[in-house]
Amino acid sequence: MNGWSLPRLLEGLHDDIERRLESARQVLGHPVTKGDASENVWLQLLKVYLPARYRAETAHVVDSDGLFSDQIDIVIFDRQYSPFIFHFEGQKIIPSESVYAIFEAKQTINAALVEYAQKKVGSVRRLHRTSLPIPHAGGIYPAKSLPPILGGILSFDSDWNPPLGMPLREALTKSCGDDCLDLGCIAAHGSFGRTISSDYEFFPGGKPATAFLFDLIARLQSHATVPMIDVRAYAKWLMP
């Protein structure tokens, strides 16, 4: 026996996230400052534990038609195959083809914030995405079909009692199509995920932050790699 314990490691990961989120809520006085601190806790979790092919940043998303999303709290995007990411005065602009997932990070969760997250998710999913055929040593693979962009909401607490009861289910199922949320975490209470049959499963208790992280990684694995971006579609915006 070498003293290591996988259950204690996983428990410690969640406990650290929950402690930091709770501290941000209790110690910081200004609502915007609290929100920024909570967002940063989730960002740091993803930056540390997601595989290196993924990046997580607060960013805007742009498509080759020149349309921009609002600022998204957390954008998970490809960096291995993405040919460019724009940086301007501290702001990051991610091409729509490079996006794997987007999340809104809030101090608490309620119906209004679920609806807000749904609108943010839908605004990114409705952006145009290109996909080119892929050259390889033996020829050319056909253009990759566009994988779905994952969307969700992350919080520390809930305004509902119980936190993962019927009110949350009703808020999640009120909107469908491009606005649907796929997964989320309420760190103090549990996590949830959308199934293949478009129903929602709720997982109260346990170690929600760790459970969410593993669920997210599994979903990202199933989506494989982003499509090959048509860089010339963006180049058309160059001034003559």
- Residues 210 and 2: their CA atoms lie apart, in Å, by 24
CB distance 59 to 93 below 8 Å: yes
Q: Phi and psi of 234, rounded to 5°?
A: -85, -35
- Residues 127 and 236: their CA atoms lie apart, in Å, by 17
The residues that are catalytic are: 73, 104, 106
- Residues 94 and 57: their CA atoms lie apart, in Å, by 10
CB distance 56 to 98 below 8 Å: no
